[in-house]
Amino acid sequence: MVKAKKIVTDLLASAKVTVGGSNPGDIQVKDERFYSQVLTGGSLALGESYMAGWWEAEQLDVFFSKILAVRLDSKVRLNWSLVSSYLANVLFNRQSPARAFIVGEQHYDAGNDLYRKMLDKRMVYTCAYWPSAKDLDEAQEQKLDLTCRKLGLKPGMKVLDIGCGWGSFAKFAAEKYGVSVVGVTVSKEQVALAQELCAGLPVEIRLQDYRDIQGEFDAIVSLGMFEHVGDKNYRTYFEVAKRCLKDDGLFLLHTIGKSVASRITDPWINKYIFPNGVLPSVKQIATGIEGIFVMEDWHNFGPDYDKTLMAWHDNFVAHWPELKGNYSEQFYRMWRYYLLSCAGAFRSRQIQLWQIVLSKNGVSGGYCSIR
């Protein structure tokens, strides 16, 4: 125990995190078992020990931005949870059609009451766009409008939304740009609420895996769904998009991404938040689109996700008194850990947010980048 404590304390010190310190990113250890558990269990043990109340930090987001900025995660020896995650991704298609609805059931079906309180008024569960926005509502509307402008939407167009969530883009695009939208999601709860929110508009919401989509569309958008596709399915995903897109149409892919290709998914995130999720790299996306699409534009606004996640966290905490009758205290700790650890990851620039505009044959005369 003493040796484990020293090793963990020294590792944290290398990231300027002090055990028992008074700075916002420092941690307070409540249970001495924390040290040996984290040393042997890595990120999974770190998250589970926080959920159990073994340690605290005044500002988890600051703690994570510090440890991830120096890649402290890579300095902890390889453990079985990482090995098993790697092997599972190599040997099996963890995002196969038979497994496509798992993330919908575990994460997106967690409760529409939770997401109503946490998100903006349009219920957009993807990165907002903050350059000139005053609050979350405005930042999400500006992101939706940016997306529509990048796609060049015009009245009468038919748009496909892969991973439509609660219909936020579909509703906005139908109302503001006069288009009709078909949205697909793997979440039953999202379908029910999206149909309610989009009632009376030319919007169709389907409970459907992306591989089963048929039809032809003037434009395609996918906001925050590609993280659930998996590297074994990237080629199939882009082939489906090509099949469904008219020859002169545009496809906008909005996804979290990382700098280095890897088949290892963070074990804690995989177990508690996004089962079977995996973040793509630039190389993996490029390989996936090669010979299928022309890359017209690549826009990185990853730092905006830090601000978005902090806004979601503030909403979640502010509305917890109204939510706690339906959720446990452990869920409260888990959800805060999820939101704040992700905010820290974006702040450290270890992960990014990309909007990529693709065409089938190249835009005649060139595509004009929109910001």
Taking Cα atoms as reference points, which of 161, 172, 236, 178 lies closest to residue 198?
A: 172
pTM of the model: 0.93
pLDDT at 261: 85
Q: Is residue 368 part of a domain?
A: no
| Structural contact between residues 228 and 253, judged by C-beta atoms closer than 8 angstroms | no
pLDDT at 153: 98
Residue 297: strand pairing partners: 357
pLDDT at 105: 86
pLDDT at 102: 87
CA angle 93, 94, 98 (to 5 degrees): 90
Token pair of 15 as six digits: 């990231």
Number of Cβ within 10 Å of residue 53's Cβ equals 12
pLDDT at 91: 53
Q: Is the dihedral of CA 262, 268, 269, 275 positive or negative?
A: positive
- Does 73 lie in the same domain as 26? yes
Which one of the listed residues 148, 164, 198, 342 is annotated catalytic? 342
Q: Is residue 367 part of a domain?
A: no
CA distance 66 to 166: 34
Q: Is residue 366 part of a domain?
A: no
Q: Is residue 364 part of a domain?
A: no
**Intervals of the chain under pLDDT 70:** 1, 74-94, 98, 100
- Does 145 lie in the same domain as 271? yes
Q: Is residue 126 part of a domain?
A: yes
- Does 73 lie in the same domain as 103? no
- Does 135 lie in the same domain as 67? no
- Does 122 lie in the same domain as 67? no
Q: Is residue 245 part of a domain?
A: yes
- Does 136 lie in the same domain as 16? no
- Does 282 lie in the same domain as 149? yes
pLDDT at 83: 47
- Does 172 lie in the same domain as 285? yes
User: Domain containing 315 — which CATH number?
Assistant: 3.40.50.150
- Does 107 lie in the same domain as 69? no
Q: Is residue 298 part of a domain?
A: yes
- Structural domain boundaries enclosing 151: 98-359
- Does 350 lie in the same domain as 236? yes
Per the structure, the count of domains in the chain is: 2
Q: Is residue 369 part of a domain?
A: no
Question: Scanning the structure block, which residue is given the tokens 């704040």?
Answer: 340
- Does 123 lie in the same domain as 58? no
Token pair of 178 as six digits: 């006069």
CA angle 136, 138, 141 (to 5 degrees): 110
Report the half-sphere exposure of 327 (CA within 13 A, side-chain side): 22
Asked about 164 being catalytic, the answer comes back as no
pLDDT at 1: 63
pLDDT at 94: 65
| Structural contact between residues 295 and 356, judged by C-beta atoms closer than 8 angstroms | yes
| Structural contact between residues 165 and 124, judged by C-beta atoms closer than 8 angstroms | yes
pLDDT at 87: 47
CA angle 59, 76, 16 (to 5 degrees): 40
CA distance 159 to 333: 39
Token pair of 239 as six digits: 């082939």
- Does 41 lie in the same domain as 102? no
